[in-house]
Structure 1
Amino acid sequence: MAKARVTVCVPPCDPEAPESLRRAIGRAMAPYDYNREDIPHPDWVGEWDYWFISGGRWTFAVLPGHEDDPRLVRHDEWTEPPEELPRSRCHGGPRGLLDLDIDRAEAAREAADRWDDWRRFADRHSGRESVLRALAEDPELRDRFPHDPYASFGTDLEAYIAEHVAEALPTPATLTLDGRWVEYGGPGYRQWSNAYLQDLPADTMVVRVLYHS
Structure 2
Amino acid sequence: MSITVCLPSTAAERPDEAVVEAMAPFQHDYASSDELDIWDYARICGGADGHGFAVPPGHEGDPRLIHDRPRHDGTLEPSHQGICAGGPRELLHFTASRTEAEEIAGQAWDLWHAPAAEHPPAESQTTVARRTGEMGTEYWSQPLIRASVLSTRHSTPCTAPGGPTASTACSPARGGVPGPLSLWSAGPMEALWTSVVAVVGTLLGGVVTHVLQGRAARRSELFTRGESLRQERIAAYSSFASAVEDFRRGQADRWYRKREDPDGEAHVGASAEAHRLRAVARQALYRVKLLAGDRGLVDAGEHALQCTRDVSNALAPEQRGQLDDAAKAAIEQFVELAAQRILPDATRTTGTPS
- Alignment TM class, shorter chain as reference: 0.3 to 0.5
Q: Relative to total residues, which structure has the larger helix share, 1 or 2?
A: 2
TM-score, structure 2 length as denominator? 0.30
Q: Which has the higher contact order (CA 8 A, sep 6+)?
A: 1
Computing the radius of gyration from Cα coordinates, the structure with the larger value is 2
